[in-house]
Amino acid sequence: MTLATPFGTVLTAMVTPFTEDGAVDLDGVQKVAKHLVDHGHDGLVVSGTTGESATTTVGEDAETLAAVKDAVGERAKIVAGVGTNDTRTSIELAQQAEKVGADGLLLVTPYYNKPGQRGILEHFRQVVGATGVPVILYDVPGRTGSAIGLEVYREAATWDTVVAVKEAAGNLPRGSVLLDLGYALYSGDDALNLAWLAHGASGFISVAGHVTGDLLRAMHTQFTSGDVVAARQTYARMLPAIDAIMGVPNYGATTAKAALELTGVLDNRVVRSPLVALDDVELEALRAGLQASGLL
């Protein structure tokens, strides 16, 4: 069976680099985008959680998306994160992304206000209906406080432009149901990437991919070509790096930016408050994990 891959197979939710004074560093944005596409990626997610979208403005998101499209848009699918906890803002972001030329939209459940399933469905309906751009629904209840129910998935599967799910709820058995509903499935949890492949996922939307892109590509190729033993060995090699990147409370932008600094892609690890950059102890733990995976 050939799996649907509407947005490629190896994607990373890329960081949004900042200058030392906290402004968006568009040169850094393009540098990271090119680094990722040069190292195994055929898709990128811009202004997702790891892109610190909760603290960037609508205008900054437009500039960032345009910079990525200009840098690598002919080499990779570009997905724009448009999920917020305000439906009007998400509609504005979705329409803006369509104008800039995004290949897809990543739509997370509204966070903090914790709507019920009818509210989540209505939010999705309004945002999806505002553009003709293909959509990935994003389920990450550990961050949002709300999970997408099967009744929402069943209804949204009937909408023409909703084509994929980024699954970060860790619900492997439900993945089979989502596949049967017609969704392409993307792993949203690096620790479960190999497991999701075994359950029929098309690929990954990673955080560790900032530094493990070539290994993710190798693992995907090995698994899909039938060499499961080699895929497991590649997965095992990545585990120290994955554990280190996910091993601090404010993982994501903080650890990904620090990893990019350690590998020489970025020259700082500035994040926006309320996130704080890794301290020296956390940085050394990250360094040790990357070294154990052979990435430094």
Q: Tell me which residues are annotated as active site.
A: 138, 166
The vertex-127 CA angle with 160 and 33, nearest 5°, equals 90
The structure tokens listed for 228 are 């499961």
Start-end of H helices in 25-116: 26-38, 58-72, 87-100
Return d(Cα 78, Cα 271) in angstroms, integer. Answer: 23
The vertex-100 CA angle with 96 and 103, nearest 5°, equals 100
DSSP structure class, residue 54? G
Return d(Cα 219, Cα 216) in angstroms, integer. Answer: 5
Strands, E assignment, the chain: 10-13, 43-46, 77-81, 104-108, 135-139, 162-167, 184-187, 203-206
